[in-house]
Chains A and B, each alone.
Chain A
Amino acid sequence: MTLHMPPILSYALRRLVQAIPVVILIMIGTFLLLKLAPGDTVDALVGDMGGADAAFIARLRAEYGLDQPVWVQLWRYMVKLASFDFGWSFVYEQPVSTVLMERLGTTLMLMASSLSIAFVAGIVLGAIAARRAYSATDNLISVLGLVFYATPSFFLSLMLMLVFSVKLGWLPVGGIKTIAAFYTGWDHVWDVVRHLIMPTAALSLIYLAFYLRLMRASVMEVADLDYVRTARAKGAREGRLMTHHIMRNALLPVVTLLGLQFSTVLGGSIVVETIFTLPGLGQLAYQSVVQRDMNTLMGIIFLCAIIVVVVNFLTDLLYARLDSRIELA
């Protein structure tokens, strides 16, 4: 190669290229899967109109290309997808891409806040538990982790609502902003933050539990390694040992998990967004399943796949930055 790239970057880029067939596979699979569903778009349309004569139905089918063999339809869909054309949503009467873009921001905001809180709290609590292993503090943290892990997000959402909205009246019960309040500037930001507190808490606790458990195990393992003992023997203080010697290596498996779990968090946002009526992709996914808006559903799946691929790319970069031992051949 004439181009000189840091090995980290070329490794991550290669993985990014490898993801392309995976995304194509997902879209072909989803397309064929949805073709198995009883009824097509025209059936849904005609149903909405309250019936129509056979000639009209046939004309509609021809217009949308639904009279073609499945392979032809698949090919046409994939060609359009390559230019990010997801088709038309008959429920929202807008192009699917417009619907998706309107919703993307809310979901990304929810995910970013949930994952960052889960990640930071998880590694801090996990490190504390590991350093005081088998003490009362460790037991308390571990029990909390197990309970968080076992609590379904929808149940937690309802309990938070019951306490903070119904009983105390501190937080709004749903939506992303106060309707007809027309806040501007910092008032608007604060309003959105207040609407995101409960959904974020509901979505983040289970991941907090994951990171906490993994971090505890990871720190305990790394703390036993020879290089840490050497550093301690040379007189490094415990605090410095933690921040300068243990943390960096102990974080590696947690970072891996963060990348792997991104798609699970997207799935979890379906329940949380639906409960808190947040206008994001998760709520849209639920609605398009219920309303059989297949174009929108396909668009969501495509967008999710792209987000996951991009996040994995970023995780690779972060991973390589954390671990200088990795040979990126």
Chain B
Amino acid sequence: MTLADTEIAPPEPPRYVMFWRRYKRNRAALLGLVLFALVVLMALSAGIIDPGDPLRRAGEPLTPPFVNWETPLGTDQLGRDVLSGVFYGARISLLIGVVATLVAIVIGVVIGALAGYFGGWVDDVLMRITEAFQTIPNFVLLLTLVAIMGSKIEWITVAIGIVSWTAPARMVRAEFMSLRHREFVDAARNLGVSNTSIIFREILPNAMPPIVVYASVIMALSILMESALAFLALGDPNYASWGNMIGQGRAVLRSAPYCAVIPGIAIILTVLSFSLLGEGLNDALNPRQKK
């Protein structure tokens, strides 16, 4: 028997190391991470690539891509630089994706936690409200909210959050219902810990992993919703948005399809990166789940 054979298990590597080991096992998730990094890089460097307003006239209208190095990806019918629009569009997409997802998760967690923790009539009332939100087509509700509140980017972001919280609410509720009678919760309750503390400090951390994974889905859907709104010319006209570029590109689809194709590819790659990230997170956070 050597010294290494004692009963003391070797120390487990820190959590983030374990997380990364599990994450990187999924090669598609690694590709997602690279794509995601690329989009973030685009968003951050937009001001360096083109310090001016992306909506200004930058060159001769409808210059095709790879002709003029001033505007490498060409210009649209108003002479706006497509490359610059794609970079600034990444900012808007990421910003709206992240903030709308936070809004949706916060609403969903609060409603789901209250419904699942208290049960009874609280659960009944909150679930009827959730069903009401699930029954209205969310894009119809989104259009209605934008019609009422206007097309300012802040409102659009909040409105996307408001139409996206139902799925996380249901997930949190289910987790709370299965966790609320476990020993550690009873123990906390017997020690006189308040309901608020039990909900947010004891149960919520245990209910979070599936929500974190689902956040990537909400993020992807938020970006799709924003681009659809902008495509329909209901987005904020003061910002470059991929959806809006595609909507404008529709007018010159016959003669200059690149105006719509380039931002379209940007959306596809961004949404793809979130889906792949979600899969990696799922592998890393729920390792016991059967593949």
Contact = CB atoms under 8 A, between A and B. Distances in A.
Interface string A160-177: 011000100000000000
Contacts of B131: 19, 22
A154 B228 contact: yes
Interface residues of A, number: 50
B140 A300 contact: yes
A87 interface: no
Interface string B239-263: 0000100110110011001001100
A80 to B, nearest CB: 20
A158 B137 CA distance: 23
Nearest to B138: A267
Interface string B199-242: 00000000000000000000010001001100110100000000
Contacts of B143: 270, 285-286, 289
A47 B129 CA distance: 36
B174 to A, nearest CB: 14
Contacts of B232: 270-271, 274, 286
A263 B220 contact: no
Tell me whether chain A's interface is mostly helix, strand or loop, or mixed. Answer: helix
A146 interface: yes
Contact of B136 (A36, A161, A224, A305): A305
Nearest to A163: B257
B228 A271 contact: yes
A150 B139 contact: no
Interface stretch (A23-31, A49-57, A63-71, A178-186): A23-31
B7 to A, nearest CB: 35
Contacts of A30: 136, 144
A150 B275 contact: yes
A25 B132 contact: yes
A26 B132 contact: yes
Nearest to A271: B228
Nearest to B167: A260
Chain B, interface size category, equals 35 or more
A146 B136 CA distance: 26
A198 interface: no
Contacts of A19: 131, 135
B160 interface: no
A34 B144 contact: yes
A22 B132 CA distance: 5
B148 interface: yes
A150 B268 contact: yes
B284 interface: no
Given A33-B144, A154-B231, A149 B138 contact: no
A22 B140 contact: no
A6 interface: no
B228 A152 contact: yes
Nearest to B130: A22
Given A166-B254, A263-B136, A286-B232, 12 more contacts: A25-B129, A150-B220, A150-B270, A152-B271, A159-B261, A161-B253, A267-B142, A270-B232, A271-B228, A271-B231, A292-B147, A300-B140
Interface of B: 128-129, 131-132, 134-140, 142-148, 220, 224, 227-228, 231-232, 234, 243, 246-247, 249-250, 253-254, 257, 260-261, 264, 267-272, 275-276, 290
